[in-house]
Structure formats: C-alpha cells, structure tokens
Amino acid sequence: MEKRAQLSDLETFELTREISGQVFENFSFANKTVSLFLSITNKKEVNTSLILRELLDDNCRIAIPRSDFSTSEIEHFLYEGEEQLEINKYGIPEPQYGTTVRPEEFDIVFVPLLCFDEKGYRVGYGKGFYDRFLSQCKKECMIIGLSFFEAVEEIEGIHENDVPLQYCVTPHHLYHFDGE
C-alpha cells in the first residue's frame, strides 16, 4: 500500500492505461460472464473503469461485486449503469440492486490485490472475501489479478483455503501461473 501511495495521479493513470491495454491484448471477453471489481480510489487501486468501458463494448455479461461485511461474503449483480452504484463506508463502489449472478456462472473474475508472488498467490485486504467466493466458482473460471507492480518471490503464510491467481496483469507483463 505504501508503494501505491507514492504513485502520482498521472503515474497511476498511465500504469492503469498500460494494464488495460495488456488485458485486451491477451484475453477475449465475447460471450463470457465477467466479474469486475470497482476500484477504491483512495487506496490507489488499478482503476478498473477503463476496463469496464471496454467490456461494455464487448458482447459479455458484466457483474459487479458487493461485499457483505457481516458474513464476509461477496454477492454479484449484473452491471446496469452508474445509477445502481453507491460508494460504501470503505470507499468501494458497489451495486445497490440488480440481477444476481451466482459464482458458478462466471467465466472470468478480476481480483483486487496488494501484491502477488511468483506462484500466483496474492495478498488482499485480509478478510478472505475473494478466496471464499473463488472457491465457489467453476473449475474452468479464469482468475486474473491486476497489479501496478511485479511479482514478489514468495508470500509467506499461505493458508490452505487461499485460491491462487491463474494470471496477473501488470503494466509490462502478463504472468501465467500453472498451479504448481
């Protein structure tokens, strides 16, 4: 989080643009059901609004997560437009209504992260929301992380319920993890 905090707004914008370019160079979204988290602006996450705009032009179903902090679960709603979004007390833009999408319906899930390692494990914000959600997705679901920074060698303290990424997109690399 400290490294992200040191990025200027211009750097964040440029890096986000490069990541978005890498995403659309390397993946196809036509006829897919996609989970896309919306960025927490004050935490300087990769700004997924660029990806959202591109996905709207593709023939795909886009669902946005909403976190239930009382159960530590994520529920997804089809994206209908900005009017359905509200920023929660943690700064996360979330849908307030819409058609729900079940975990097993997703073909692709974009995952927020703080850092990731060379095996595809990631550090999130520590509540396990995404690991619980990803464990419910179908086996064929593609799990993609987005990061301004490159992989660290290894993350210590991996838990048996941690679900690794299959891919991570950075401004200059596409990492592919084979699960070994």
Is 85 part of a structural domain of the chain?
A: no
Residue 153 predicted with pLDDT over 90: yes
* Residue 32 resides in a domain: yes
Q: Is the pLDDT of residue 119 over 90?
A: yes
**What integer is the mean pLDDT of 165-170?**
97
Question: Could you report how far apart the first and last alpha carbons of the chain are, in Å?
Answer: 28
Residue 56 has pLDDT above 90, yes or no: yes
Task: Determine the Cα–Cα distance for residues 13 and 70; give it in Å rounded to an integer.
Answer: 33
Domain count, the chain: 1
Q: Name the residue range of residue 51's domain.
A: 2-62+102-176
Closest CA to 84 of 97, 65, 66, 75: 97
Distance CA 148, CA 89 (A): 25
User: Higher-confidence residue: 2 or 136?
Assistant: 136
Which pTM does this prediction carry?
Answer: 0.94
User: Is 107 a member of any domain?
Assistant: yes
> What pLDDT is recorded for position 76?
97
Q: Is the pLDDT of residue 16 over 90?
A: yes
Question: pLDDT value at position 126?
Answer: 65
With respect to residue 133, please indicate whether it lies within any of the assigned structural domains: yes
User: How much is the average pLDDT of 68-94?
Assistant: 93
Residues in the chain: 180
Q: At what angle do helices 49-57 and 9-26 cross, to 10 degrees?
A: 30
As a 3-state breakdown, the chain gives helix, strand, coil percent values, each rounded to 5, of 25, 25, 50
The domain that contains 108 carries what CATH number? 3.40.50.10420
Residue 86 in domain:
no
Whether residue 175 is predicted with pLDDT greater than 90 in this model: the reply is yes
Decide if pLDDT at 180 tops 60: no
Confidence of residue 179 (pLDDT cuts 50, 70, 90): low
Specify if 170 maps to a domain. yes
- Kindly tell me if the per-residue pLDDT of 42 is higher than 90: no
If pLDDT is split at 50, 70 and 90, which confidence band does 145 have?
very high
* Residue 77: per-residue pLDDT: 98
Output the pLDDT for position 163: 92
